[in-house]
């Protein structure tokens, strides 16, 4: 983006997008995609980074990108993580030092979900995130820091017939201190059974919102559809190709991700490799 858009602009943008979505008049998203196409990097970086955050059991699977570490709650805080407990900085830094050779870390702490709800809970979660990011910077000053799935997806708000947009905008406002403290943004591109037209629309909105913060944006994508209970349903190949084309054209990089350990199956890869990974 040539300049960050204001909170008022976000309100107007998303209000228009919501109207557009429910009325199936997609002129606004065409304008968004035009803008993204003309500004392919939110940080002025010409190269595209492909990062691998999968967990395939087969160590010889084809190249999906440079390995990147996603640290979970259990990795950082141990089993039985208490979201209300004060952060044990000494323990956290001891864990972080195991990753001193990493260039990037992505923190995945769903227990500190920030919402539009109770202010005291949100303030505590924001405080914890900022404290954790500070720990990373002190223990690993060379590391580029991001949070998994942040900024959060607007998809449910956009899809809601009753409009959850006011709540989503409040959530964005609550997220801002954490986003401001990060180096890179990693929005999660969730696919919940949309068709190609809706998927294109929603990717455009989500990436546009992420780019307004003026930081590098690396969407998290997957070969698994994130709408089934076990997240194991393979995405339709046409949607895998669609998300790869869109991300490669408009973002700084892409993280290829799997929530759980997986057995490598090459039938999906063979059909998308030239577009996604080569």
Q: How far apart (Å, rounded) are the C-alpha atoms in residues 65 and 219? A: 14
Q: How far apart (Å, rounded) are the C-alpha atoms in residues 233 and 230? A: 8
Residue 80 confidence (pLDDT) = 87
Q: Which residues contact 64 (CB under 8 A, 6 or more apart)?
A: 50, 52, 54, 256, 277
Instruction: Respond yes or no on whether the N-terminal peptide bond of residue 7 is cis (omega within 30° of 0).
Output: no
Sign of dihedral through CA atoms 168, 69, 233, 49?
positive
Q: How far apart (Å, rounded) are the C-alpha atoms in residues 108 and 44? A: 27
CB 223 within 8 A of CB 238: no
Distance of CA 60 to the CA centre of its chain: 27
Residue 257 confidence (pLDDT) = 95
Structure tokens at 259: 């929530």
Burial class (CB in 10 A: 0-12, 13-18, 19+), 230: exposed
Q: How far apart (Å, rounded) are the C-alpha atoms in residues 29 and 205? A: 7
Q: What backbone torsions phi and psi does residue 92 show, to the nearest 5 degrees?
A: -60, -45
Residue 14 confidence (pLDDT) = 57
Structure tokens at 66: 């440079």
Say how many C-beta atoms besides its own lie within 10 A of residue 85's C-beta.
Answer: 10
What's the predicted TM-score (pTM) here? 0.87
Structural domains of the chain in order of their starting residue, each with its CATH number: 7-276 (3.20.20)
**From residue 130, how far is each of 104, 147, 278 by CA, in Å?**
17, 11, 37
Residue 6 confidence (pLDDT) = 47
Secondary structure (3-state) at 121: helix
Residue 106 confidence (pLDDT) = 98
Q: How far apart (Å, rounded) are the C-alpha atoms in residues 52 and 221? A: 10
Residue 52: closest CA among 109, 111, 106: 106
Q: How far apart (Å, rounded) are the C-alpha atoms in residues 80 and 111? A: 11
Residue 187 confidence (pLDDT) = 97
Residue 52: closest CA among 271, 267, 264, 270: 264
Residue 1 confidence (pLDDT) = 40
Secondary structure (3-state) at 223: coil
Residue 29 confidence (pLDDT) = 55
* Pairing label, strands 49-53, 220-221: unpaired
Q: How far apart (Å, rounded) are the C-alpha atoms in residues 155 and 192? A: 9
Query: Angle at the Cα of 52 (from 47 to 54), degrees rounded to 5?
Result: 160
Residue 185 confidence (pLDDT) = 98
Residues of the chain under the 70 pLDDT cut: 1-46, 160-163, 193-196, 226-232
């Amino acid at each position: 983006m040539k300049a960050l858009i204001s909170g008022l602009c976000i309100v107007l943008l998303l209000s228009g997008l919501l109207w557009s979505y429910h009325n199936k008049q997609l002129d606004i998203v065409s304008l968004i995609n035009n803008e993204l196409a003309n500004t392919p990097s939110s940080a002025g970086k010409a190269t595209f980074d492909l990062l691998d955050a999968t967990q395939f059991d087969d160590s010889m699977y084809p190249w999906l990108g440079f390995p990147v570490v996603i640290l979970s709650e259990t990795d950082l805080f141990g089993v039985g993580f208490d979201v209300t407990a004060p952060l044990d900085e000494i323990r956290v830094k001891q864990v972080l030092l195991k990753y001193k050779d990493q260039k990037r870390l992505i923190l995945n702490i769903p227990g500190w979900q920030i919402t539009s709800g109770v202010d005291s809970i949100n303030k505590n979660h924001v405080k914890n995130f900022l404290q954790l990011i500070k720990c990373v910077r002190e223990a690993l000053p060379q590391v580029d820091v991001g949070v998994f799935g942040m900024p959060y997806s607007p998809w449910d708000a956009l899809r809601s017939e009753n409009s959850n947009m006011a709540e989503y905008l409040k959530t964005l406002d609550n997220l801002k201190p954490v986003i401001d403290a990060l180096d890179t943004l990693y929005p999660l591109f969730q696919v919940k059974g949309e068709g190609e037209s809706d998927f294109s629309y929603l990717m455009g909105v989500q990436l546009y919102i992420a780019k307004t913060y003026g930081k590098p944006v690396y969407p998290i994508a997957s070969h698994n559809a994130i709408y089934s209970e076990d997240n194991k349903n393979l995405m339709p190949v046409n949607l895998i190709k669609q998300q790869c084309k869109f991300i490669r054209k408009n973002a700084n990089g892409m993280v290829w991700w799997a929530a759980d350990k997986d057995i490598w199956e090459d039938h999906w890869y063979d059909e998308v490799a030239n577009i996604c990974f080569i």
